[in-house]
Structure 1
Amino acid sequence: MSEDREFKEEEQLSAVLSEMPETVDSDMVRLNDGLFGELAEALPEELSDATEEETIPSCGPLSKKERKELARLNEVKLTLRRMLLQMLLPAGLLMWDELIFHIYVNKGVHDSSVWYIALFAAAFGFLYAIPTGFLRDKAAKRVNTVFVFLVTFWFIIQTFYQKIFNNYLTVSVMGNAGDAKEFWKEGVRSLWSRAPLVVLLLLPIAFWIVLRKLGFRHGTVGRKCFIIPALGVMITMSVAFAFLNGAKARESGRRNVFFKEWQSDRGVRENGILVGLCQDLYRSATYHPDDIGEIVIDAELPEIPTLAAPTPELNKPMTPEPTLAPNHTPTPTPTPVDRSPHTLNIDFATLAANEKNTAIKTIHEYMASTTPVNKNEYTGMFKGYNVVMLTCETFSPLAVSRELTPTLYKLVHSGFYFDNFYTPYWITSTSDGEYTACTGLLPDTQKSGSFSRSSKNKMSCCLGHIFHGMGYATYAFHNHDADYYDRNKSHPNMGYTFIAKYRGLKVTDQFPESDVEMMQLSIPMYINEDHFLAYYMTMSGHMSYNWDNAMAKKHKNEVSKLPYSDDAKCYIAGNIELENAVRYLIDELEKAGKLENTLIVLSGDHYAYGLPEEARNEIAGHKIEEEFELYKNHLVIWNPSIEQQTVHKAACSLDIMPTVLNLLGIEYDSRLYMGTDIFSDTLGLVQFKDNSFITDYVRYNANNGKALWLNGAEDWDSETQKKYIESYKTIVRNKFNISRAMLNNNYYATVDSYLWWMHPEQGIPESMQ
């Protein structure tokens, strides 16, 4: 056996020696002096695939043993060259794409995210080099070519998606790819507007083509040398994880986002596109409804120091407006004011004690520990009224002006004027914004399509079911495709008769569709009902904001003389159609004698992300601050009887549902919603998908840990401020995790039997009769 092995080694050696010169060349001499010191000098020779070597005068014939040793050293040299190239090329490609994208899109040159992104990109490159090191030249060329093109394509797709939606494309969002078919023109425009970035992202393809033309050969590294790229992976990942476990990463929440509560927007911005893809794939593969994240039961609101500024105006006793009953007879608000809690007869503690499902048990415990919201002087102010609720596509303060949209201006500024209201932006744009307003719950920020997914649950606590249980006719209308975002499933599931394009609403086939047409076709369906709830998801304000937009064309003459860019003019034109639709609605209600006993509630779904930043600033007349001001919006709660009063309390679209329930005097359990009645004595809270938040006393940016203190809170001592921030961090995290758990575990089904409106045989509570 040993003789056969020696014979084979001798045969292999003879083959190597036959290709070697009889004399020692300069490379070999230098190799003996220091192999690793000459690798950099040798790399260009490998890249050009040079085969000829300069020789120096012969030092005499070599012995067989010396020639064998030199052959082995030369083989090591070539293997190391190949290995370094195979490590550096993919690592360089990924670092280039990640850093160029980050610097261009996030303008992040000096932030710490650059180091995380570079380390993770290098680690992915080294990891890729391990399996490809075993491939032969032809196979390796094919695999590397596919790799280069796929990586480039993915980054360009992210460029397109991020520009349009100001978010990152995830695997779960790709499930809604068919819903984005109208945006291909906007995609072309977005790529054109980011042409420099696209060109930079295409450079690796050009570089790879040049390497191929120069005759670059991959070669096989072999089994032993995979240790070096593996070591590279270990080193880069160890450094990155060391940073993630540092004090700064813990304090800023970066560590928590990476390891526990992944948020695609912030996570990608801080760690890179590739980490985002891996996190998304991992969480999709390991998803389980029982995994609800960290919940702190009995989380307490922080105590407000007595030295703070006066309580925000809304929380002071206010002179109550007259309560208008359906017969229009003014009735003074009862005295004393009922300030009992908004609760139903649900014993959450007992439910928790008897529950076996871990997630549902935790939700019950959370509900049991939550302090209910109290009734107030506005409770029942519009008892027995009809309600028309609108979620308006891309509605924002930029759409409201006294001259061009006088009806919207009137609704915003007369009656209740909410000057501290926000519409946070989530991950499924319109659908998530609509979900928040319609359910009083936060959307899942780790997985897209919350509204679509809710269609498989019992959504007993939505307005449609509640009003239907009160004997109201309940309708939901949308002037775009009925199955877009699965509204044909989610909206009937909320208790509405759902009517939309291709589902009973015969609007003109154009994009975007007309809100006026929707009103003309829909109002006759309910206007003669004794009591009705009509919900609208409008469409006319939708991007793209150019003259191909049907609503922009329709109102071009009305905006043509405005001193703005075409983008800005087209955005305003689309909202003139909304203006006309709302005016038509009010006129028809008045003609039917229903306006006086109808409450109109109007809000937006998200900020105008489809409008270029320059155009937004142009209309606003100043540069809009992007941390919080960008999401500031109007909330309309209007009836002609309401006298103007300003509401300073911090609030958001999450609060719409419980606020409407309180104004109509409906008996409900405030613990079942993550939002709160804006008119209650509960402190205001606005929370964003990255865990930033606004209260009546602070604006806290979770990305950098900076806090802007308000209303006298700047005078609190540092320890009090720190406790306040930490308390609200917990509250915000709880609300996100509980909302997600309620969605993933069909929570309302567990309390359905306690909801009077779901059981007509129980009758309407006496307090509402």
Structure 2
Amino acid sequence: MEEQKRPVQGRRPAPKGQDLKWPTLHTENRKKTTGQQTASGNPERRRASSQAAPGGGSRRPSSGTAQGTGSRRVSSGTASSAGSRRVSSGTASSAGSRRVSSAQTQNAGSRRVSSGTASSAGSRRVSSAQAKNADSRRSAGSASRSVSPESRTSQNRRRNSGVFGQIIPGSALKHLGKDSQSSRNSSGARRRPPAQPVARVLFLLGPLLFLPLAFVYLELIFHIYMGLSLKYLPVYFFFALAAGVFLSLLASFFKQKVNFIITCVITGIFSLLFYIEILCKFILQQYFQLLSTAGTAANNKLTDYAGAILEGILKNLHGLVLMFLPLIFLLVFGRKLLSFRPKPLVFGGFTLVLTLVIHLVALLMVHLPWSGDFTPKTLYATDTNVDDQVEQLGVITMLRLDIKHSIFGASSPTISTDALDQLDQLNDAAATPEPTVTDTPVDTSPNVMELDFSKVENINDDVTWLNEYIQSASSSNKNKYTGMFEGYNVIFITAEGFSGYAISEELTPTLYKLTHEGFVFNNFYSALHYTSTSGGEFQNLTGLYPKAGNPISMTRTGELGTYLPFTLANELNGQNYTSVGYHFNGNMYGRDLSHPNLGYNWKQGDDVDMEKTQSGKNVWPQSDLHMVEATIDEYINQQPFNIYYMTISGHMPYTGGGNAMAVRNQDVVANLPYSQETKDYLAATYELEKGLTYLIQRLEEAGIADKTLLVMAPDHIPYFDIPVLEELAGQTFGKSEDFQYLKESSINFDVYRNSLIIWSASMEEPVNVDKVCCQVDILPTLLNLLGVEYDSRLMAGTDILSDSPGLVVFSSNSWMSDHGFYNRFTKEFTPAAGSTLTGVDQENYVSAMKTLVSCKIQMTPIIIENDYYRKLLG
């Protein structure tokens, strides 16, 4: 009776009528004699094998031999089993079944087959011909159990015909699921996709799954880490998702290794960008657009901020880990959990469609009826207000919009000027002017020029709007101080990182004298606008607010050669003044172009005699005293002169030996009752005190101190060291976590209170000014004091000494006027002491002032980009 065949364990029986073949595993590299040596070459091992086989409970694998009970063993293309067949290229043995060998086959209780002889214990012998027939039957049986490559492909298509099969046609699955040498892991074993359909789909998606999730993670963790509002999560969630899906295309069509590398590079770049924004906010208190950051960093090679950057990194190491966590995960687990095999072209089409759908959902989120002075809708259309863009749209979208607007430009928002018509009436009604008694009549006519606006009527919509605003804007009037310093020499100093809280009669007697014996501005503020130093300089020298985004306003004027007729140098050069500017540092913010455009003979870097260390390197930062000593003889005998100094001694960081001036002046501050951080800041500021003392001494020696107007204003406060200001001011400006990033939504704006110096030895007594004022007001005030003709409507600032109402605009668009303070975040207006505005009048006033603030900020980029002054005045 022929032996009954049982199906091999672990395999499904072949469908009836289908010829399936198991793939053969070739063993050409093995010696055929190995099995024979194991079974017959060693008598003791042979006996042990014979004793073990009948037990049916154990198996002993050997090279070339397969043994087992009730199971199947495959070796070199043959399988053997107790109760079934055991096959080996050399020998196969089994108790109760057949043992087949190329030379001999034995079976206890059944058949023994050999090419020449067949023997069986108590049964039959099989001839060579019969053995061949048996071999033929075995081959047929083997063939019926084997699966051809074509059949396997067909099965793979059926297994993947679910969700993924609907996305990618069967003709492309061989590219996604094929077993190739490239699909092996480092140990040589094949990495097979998960058996579950959903897990298999996620595995095969690879970068399309990872990059969107990584981008969403970065945006969410960034917002949490920086303390930003999660209110706008739906907006930046879908924008991040769309960006990740789109960029996954870059890692979809190359070889597996290349796709993996591209995914790592993309992840690393975006992790770095997010971390750079953390450092920018920590060091400079502002987020930066990509092109602005790259240009500024490349311009000065980061040398000015090297110490601050190192400190920022050390204090944000946990942020570094959080931002680079997706890259770490990808490098450690990516190739184990995801497939990076090349995808077919149809996959690209699907990805583009998916990107479009998600992006449309994001745009839908943008256009929801959000509340506030700034909304995602308004921010998405502009290239300004970077901090708000980051919070509401996300870092990725802010950077994308920066690139887009840098190439194609951005549309300017349409601002209605109708509300300005009632502003003059409201101001007049609330004003309580002090009576002035003068012996001679005072000319109070407006400081305006005869302008022909028809010259710039039909240039573009932006210029048309600017014309309308300027013609509706209020002008400032001449006053009793008009022409007070006409013909005087002028020295203008922009003091790096200066705060009036550092002034004391004991430590800084010269600074104390200048702030108390000239014009005394009791409510002067130096708000921190975009790009800090450059933004502060731009306000001081142009009377305009800097654009809150890329391109940097001061740098842009130099690049375009924008005509700026009202700067001190350009105005005074027409009166035969010698105008020279000095900065004892390398080129930064493109001053080599912008400052000559302002009208100065500009000297910096190699053009000046900078102080050196013993090793020949430049001292960092340079001494303000040395700057004055090295330059004053160049101009003091060339009157009238107009000199501009951009100081550097007060540059951060001040601690840890990062500021040479702080180290140099430690003996001066050693006994002060302050923390070491505060002492270091005061020591750095003391170098400015020394420079001013020497300057006034030389002016007095030359007999021209009473014919020289000295002006000094900060570029910005020392925003990196707010605790220092708190200690000097004797008050707190908010919670530590708030002013760590100078969050204007919750800080005390007195942190921006500062000192403005306008002084001459010719002044017999001080003039106290209580009007609120800021840096954009300096230029129109000086032009009026010097008796220079200008049009007060063409600048954002106003003459502080005129009867025009005061206004300070902060970087968040919160503002302060003589009537009160408006917080943009809470949308609350706090009336100033003595203000008579109430009820409807107060509401109308706030509405009109918000419009005025928007107009003053919006006018700057239009003037620069359209060269408006040249076209209007030329």
| Contact 1:367-1:671 within 8 A present in 2 as well | yes
Counterpart check, 1:492 vs 2:596: yes
Partner of 1:18: 152
- Which amino acid in the other structure matches residue 846 of structure 2? I
Report if the CA contact (8 A) 1:436-1:653 is conserved: yes
Is the alpha carbon distance of 1:452 and 1:238 closer, same or farther for their aligned partners in structure 2, counting shifts above 3 Å? closer
Higher CA-based Rg: 2
Please identify, of 536-545 and 635-644, the stretch whose mean Cα deviation from structure 2 is larger.
Answer: 635-644
Aligned to 1:432: 535
Structure 2 counterpart of 1:419, which letter?
N
Indicate conservation of the 8 Å contact 1:428/1:448, yes or no.
no
Change (3 A) 1:731 1:104: same
Q: CA–CA distance in 2 between the matches of 1:317 and 1:479?
A: 47
Partners of 1:265 and 1:299 in 2: how far apart? 27
The alpha carbon displacement at 1:115 in A equals 4.3
Query: 1:448 and 2:557 equivalent?
Result: no
Question: Is residue 392–residue 538 contact of structure 1 (8 Å, CA) maintained in 2?
Answer: yes
> In 1, Cα distance between the equivalents of 2:184 and 2:847?
56
1:581 CA displacement: 0.9
Aligned to 1:311: 431
| TM-aligned CA deviation for residue 463 of structure 1 | 0.6
**1:515 Cα deviation from its structure 2 partner:** 0.8
What amino acid sits opposite 1:593 in the alignment? G
CA distance in 1, matches of 2:460, 2:551: 24
Corresponding position of 2:629: 520
Residue of 504, 510, 530 corresponding to 1:401: 504
1:615 partnered with 2:724: yes
Q: Distance in 2 between matches of 1:748 and 1:194?
A: 45
Aligned residue among 495, 508, 517 for 1:414: 517
- Corresponding residue for 1:732? 853
Letter in 1 for 2:572: F
Q: Aligned runs of 1:650-665 on 2, under 5 Å? A: 650-665=772-787
Question: Deviation string for 1:316-342 (max 9, x for gaps)?
Answer: 3346xxxxxxxxxxxxx6632211111
What is the match of residue 759 of structure 2?
Answer: 638
Deviation digits for residues 613-658 of structure 1 (CA, Å, limit 9, x no counterpart): 4334333333224423333221111234253343222211111000
The residue correspondences of 1:198-597 to structure 2 (distance < 5 A) are 198-212=320-334, 214=336, 216-219=338-341, 233=355, 237-238=359-360, 240-249=362-371, 251-287=373-409, 292-296=412-416, 300=420, 302-303=422-423, 311=431, 315-318=433-436, 335-348=440-453, 350-353=454-457, 356=459, 359-455=462-558, 456-481=561-586, 483-508=587-612, 509-546=618-655, 547-597=657-707
Please name the residue that 1:121 is paired with: 240
- Whether the aligned pair in 2 keeps the contact of 1:698 and 1:709 (CA below 8 Å) is yes
For structure 1, which segment, 93-102 or 134-143, has the greater mean C-alpha deviation from structure 2 after superposition? 134-143
Q: Structure 2: state its 5+ residue gaps.
A: 1-146, 165-182, 613-617, 735-741
1:742 aligned onto 2:863: yes
In 2, the alpha carbon distance for the partners of 1:570 and 1:674 equals 36
Is the CA contact (8 Å cut-off) linking 2:203 and 2:338 kept in structure 1? no
For 2:224, the equivalent position in structure 1 comes to 103
Q: 1:685 to 1:351 in 2, by over 3 A?
A: same
Counterparts of 2:574 and 2:630, CA distance in 1 = 26
Deviation readout 1:713-768 (Å, 9 max, x if unpaired): 58622x44443233222222222222111111222222444xxxxxxxxxxxxxxx
Q: CA RMSD in A?
A: 3.6
Q: Please identify, of 122-131 and 169-178, the stretch whose mean Cα deviation from structure 2 is larger.
A: 122-131
Q: Deviations over 1:230-287 (max 9, x none)?
A: 6765665455434433333464444312223532222123322111110110001102
Distance 1:197 1:345, change over 3 A: same
Deviation at 1:465, TM superposition (A): 1.8
Tell me: CA distance 1:52–1:425, structure 2 relative to 1, closer, same or farther (3 Å).
closer
Q: In the alignment, does 2:196 pair up with 1:196? A: no
For residues 549-570 of structure 1, give each alpha carbon's deviation from its aligned partner in whole angstroms, at most 9, with x where no partner exists: 1111110111233344443322
**Counterpart contact for 1:339–1:376, Cα < 8 Å:** yes
1:158 aligns with 2:277: yes
SS at match of 1:300: helix
Of the structure 1 ranges 368-377 and 390-399, higher mean CA displacement relative to structure 2 is found in 368-377
| Structure 1 residues 468-513: Cα deviation after superposition (integer angstroms, max 9, x where no partner) | 22233322222223x3333232222222233334214454431111
Residue 769 of structure 2 aligns with which residue?
647
Q: In the superposition, relative to structure 1, how do residues 345 and 212 fare at CA in structure 2: closer, same or farther (>3 Å)? A: closer
Return 176-185 or 437-446, whichever deviates more. Answer: 176-185
Indicate if the aligned counterparts of 2:206 and 2:339 stay in contact, CA closer than 8 A.
no
Query: Structure 1 stretch 432-441 or stretch 408-417: which is displaced more?
Result: 408-417
Cα distance change on mapping 1:616 and 1:100 into 2, 3 Å:
farther
- Give, in whole Å, the separation in 2 of the partners of 1:47 and 1:307: 79
- Compared CA separation, residues 53 and 422, structure 1 to 2 (3 A): closer
**Aligned letter for 1:175?**
G
Q: 1:535 to 1:111 in 2, by over 3 A?
A: same
User: Does residue 175 of the first structure (1) align with residue 292 of the second (2)?
Assistant: no
- Aligned partner of 1:602 in structure 2 is 712
Instruction: Return the TM-score normalized by structure 1.
Output: 0.80
Q: 1:624 to 1:252 in 2, by over 3 A?
A: same
- Opposite residue 159 of structure 1, the aligned amino acid is I
Residue number among 726, 734, 750 corresponding to 1:629 in the alignment: 750
Q: CA deviation at 1:347?
A: 2.6
Q: Which residue identity is paired with 2:585?
A: H
Partner of 1:431, secondary structure, is helix
**d(CA) in 2 for partners of 1:262, 1:365:** 22
SS at match of 2:579: strand
Query: Secondary structure of the residue that 1:247 maps to in structure 2?
Result: coil
Paired amino acid for 1:176: T
Deviates further, 673-682 or 506-515: 506-515
Please tell me the residue identity of whatever aligns with 2:689: E
Answer yes or no: is 1:710 the counterpart of 2:857.
no
Aligned-partner Cα distance in 2 for 1:90–1:659: 55
Secondary structure of residue in 2 paired with 1:480: coil
* Post-superposition offset of 1:377: 2.4
Contact 2:426 2:841 in 1 (8 A): no
Q: Give the SS at the match of 2:706.
A: coil
1:57-82 CA-partner distances (Å, limit 9, x unpaired): xxxxxxxxxxxxxxxxx8x6566323
Matched, 1:91 2:212: yes
Partner of 1:676: 798
Q: Is the 8 A contact 2:543 2:778 kept in 1?
A: yes
TM-score (norm 2): 0.71
Q: In 2, distance between residues paired with 1:47 and 1:674?
A: 67
Q: What residue in structure 1 maps to residue 53 of structure 2? A: none
Report the equivalent of 1:146: 265
Does the aligned pair in 1 maintain the 2:580–2:600 contact within 8 Å?
yes
CA distance in 2: counterparts of 1:616 and 1:193, whole angstroms: 20
Secondary structure in 1 matching 2:313: helix
Amino acid at match of 1:100: I
Cα 1:461–1:28, aligned 2, differ >3 Å: closer, same or farther? Answer: closer
